Chains A and B, each alone.
Chain A
Amino acid sequence: MAIKRPPFNDISKDLKEPMATIEMDDLMDILGIDKKEETPLEPINDKIKNTYDWYLDGHIALGNLYPPKTKEEENELVRKFLSGLEKLLDPKNNWPMLQILKTGLDYCVRCQTCSEACHVYIASGRQEIYRPTYRIEILRKIYKKYFTPEGKLLGSFVGADVDLNWKTIYRLAELVHRCNLCRRCAQRCPVGIDNGYLAREIRVLLSQELGISPTEILEKGSRLQLTVGSSTGLSPMALKDYLEFIEEDTYEKTGVKIKFPINKKGADILLIHNAGEFVSWPENPAAFAILFDAAGISWTMSDEPVGYDSINYGLWNDDIEAARVVLRHAKIGKDLGVKKIVIGECGHATKAFCVVGDRILTGDLGSSEISRESCLPLLWDIYKSGAIKFDPSKNNFPVTLHDPCNMVRNMGIVMPQRNVLNAIAPRWREMHPNGVYNYCCGGGSGFAIMQGLNFPQWRNKVSSRMKINQILNAFKEELDPGIPKYVCAPCSNCKGAIRDFFEHYKCKEKFNLTYGGLVELMVNSMVDMEKPYISWDEY
């Protein structure tokens, strides 16, 4: 057993061992998977030890964060951190979120109710540093020390006892990337503190003030999207090649001819997919096209840069990047003259555009004349319209549903996807807990796309651990690999995380599990489809 209870100020000290050590014995048990058969934990290699400050837990999320070389660089980090914190506390700079931040800093009663709600904390075997309160307590102590009269005067007597140096900042930066920002902790807090949101505020401070952000999220994420057109690197020219291939391939596989409508002015709906779908799950946008055409919907896609990629990674760490992307999406919809902009199966993009957008868009762009919506209610509307005939017996296999945190807990879209499954998937069952009480897939807040160094190991072993256990429990009577099973996850990010942990835990070989979105299941059960749409061999 290696559970450690490091004092808060260890985060600022020269250490010989990490503040937490991940060991197999401590990790939560998973139904149907013997720990001895699990992929073993790779020890921390010398490259990591010699290059990075690895003393948080031996894992590195920020592969671009190299220790400072001079005293000046060290001082600069501290100065910028304090100036960033000051901005977060200033109503002029942080009017939308100041209240949440101040409530969290001033009113936590340390009851730890939130810890028991956190999948990372529980799955890790209750490592102290992963408590939702631990990272915030460090922020609180820094805040007290530098921004309150009693802290400045009395220091450690009033809990202002964490030193702020470059190590504190680097380890805190790693520690805010051990939280999926799923906000299950906030849901359970009796006082109304949102530790998930506070973790995001620290990420905002780090990204906007110090330029500290995982490469995948900022430089190769939002910035690439705003320059090339998509975080995947897909330019409008490449998009054309991709879409043509998807059209041909869909015809060969299904006999159905689709043609993605591009820049159709005056269409009712502009559909924006997470561009990762074109690259990794092309059957998803193809299924949308099949359904929309069969339902007689007037729709279009855009090939304007940013207009064909719904992602908005700023939601996880950067208000400025988030605002830029929301504006581009809204402007493209307005120029096309559509009535609605619908986001495909992507949780964070849906929340960024539909909820955060409300706080960003003004004037014409914020007008309620163009609504911004999730695709899930529309999919249920398509079913209800009766325009398409479905045969549920075509989906005669066990199905369970994953609730993407951003759309379900954080937006309250709970029933449309369940109504659809009730109608088309006779053997579907809930996993537990579910709906707004779901657990994150472990890939939330950018983790699914952070593939550098040994971070994927941490994600698969710790943050996705609760989800694989939930999935296997949902199928516990039918784990036999002779029975193919489908995890319905209507979110690109969740699918990325699920793909990786299915591979990590050998779920195809052991249990015959596959995964995909909701639209694929719908198309699979369409009476007019001559061949099955879901292919069980590929994932």
Chain B
Amino acid sequence: MPFIDVNGEQLEVDEDGFLQDPEKWNEDVAKYLAKTEQVEELTEEHWKMVNYLHDYFKKYQIAPMVRKLCKDNGMDLKKVYELFPTGPAKGACKIAGLPKPTGCV
């Protein structure tokens, strides 16, 4: 498994750069991952979504449905793509420290 280096700490990621252990996630990790997903700076709107996703995952061990994440954050899908150009699953969830989606999704 590959690793990333965030402020001297070695964190395990999968071959596509998704964090393996969500417990290791913090603001600096989010900032690091954001750069790998074409998000140069995390604004307040980004953080709102990222924190929402991280909290949902903590509770349910899965990302929320795309329609739910839009609705709960008062954004349409277009807005989500504006914030996270690589999309809700690959972009936003990755930055929020979630693992890569699995199954037929």
Contacts and interface: CB of A to CB of B under 8 A. Distances in A.
Interface stretch (A83-91, A132-140, A236-244, A318-326): A236-244
B62 A233 contact: yes
A123 interface: no
Given A228-B61, A232-B62, A282-B65, A452 B104 contact: no
Contacts of B16: 63, 451-453
A276 B105 contact: yes
Contacts of A492: 104
B8 to A, nearest CB: 22
Interface string B89-105: 00000000000111111
A449 B104 contact: yes
A538 B14 CA distance: 30
The 9 tightest CB contacts between A and B, nearest first, are: A276-B104, A232-B103, A231-B103, A63-B15, A238-B60, A220-B102, A233-B62, A279-B105, A492-B104
A297 to B, nearest CB: 25
Contacts of B61: 228, 233, 235, 238
Interface string B44-85: 000000000000000011100111100100000100000000
A279 B100 contact: no
Residue picked from B62, B65, B103, most chain A C-beta under 10 Å: B103
Interface string A527-539: 0000000000010
Given A279-B101, A538-B77, 11 more contacts: A216-B102, A230-B103, A231-B104, A233-B102, A238-B60, A238-B62, A242-B65, A249-B71, A275-B104, A282-B65, A451-B16
Contact of B15 (A274, A452, A493): A452
Contact of A245 (B65, B77, B100): B65
B105 A232 contact: yes
A311 B102 CA distance: 12
B103 A233 contact: yes
B65 A279 contact: yes
A492 B62 CA distance: 19
A309 interface: yes
A237 B60 contact: yes
Interface size bucket, A side? 35 or more
A346 interface: yes
18 contacts: A216-B102, A224-B103, A230-B103, A232-B103, A233-B62, A233-B103, A234-B62, A237-B60, A238-B61, A245-B67, A249-B68, A249-B71, A276-B103, A282-B65, A346-B104, A449-B104, A452-B15, A453-B15
Interface of B: 14-16, 60-62, 65-68, 71, 77, 100-105
A241 B60 contact: yes
A318 to B, nearest CB: 16
A311 B103 contact: yes
A436 to B, nearest CB: 23
B17 to A, nearest CB: 10
Contacts of B77: 538
B68 A245 contact: yes
A448 interface: yes
Nearest to A443: B104
Contacts of B62: 232-235, 238, 279
A23 to B, nearest CB: 25
A493 B103 contact: no
A484 interface: no
Contact of B104 (A241, A496, A538): A496
A273 B30 CA distance: 34
B74 to A, nearest CB: 15
A309 B104 CA distance: 10
Interface in A490-504: 492-493, 496
A230 B103 CA distance: 8
Interface string A199-238: 0000000000000000110001100110010111111011
A216 B71 CA distance: 29
A452 B103 CA distance: 13
B60 A280 contact: no
Contacts of A242: 65
A538 B88 CA distance: 14
Nearest to B90: A451
Nearest to A275: B103
A107 B32 CA distance: 57
Contacts of B100: 220, 451-452
A359 B16 CA distance: 38
A278 interface: yes
A158 B66 CA distance: 58
Nearest to A539: B77
Contacts of B105: 232, 276, 279-280, 449, 496
Nearest to B68: A245
Contacts of A493: 104
B59 to A, nearest CB: 8
Nearest to B102: A220
A258 to B, nearest CB: 15
A228 B60 CA distance: 11
B30 to A, nearest CB: 21
Contacts of A238: 60-62
Interface string A440-457: 000000001101110000
A249 B101 contact: no
A232 B102 contact: yes
A221 B60 contact: no
A390 B33 CA distance: 50
Contact of B101 (A221, A232, A309): A232
Contact of A279 (B14, B15, B71, B103): B103
A276 B65 CA distance: 10
B60 to A, nearest CB: 4
Contacts of B104: 231-232, 274-276, 280, 311, 346, 448-449, 492-493, 496
A216 B66 CA distance: 21
B67 to A, nearest CB: 6
A180 B16 CA distance: 23
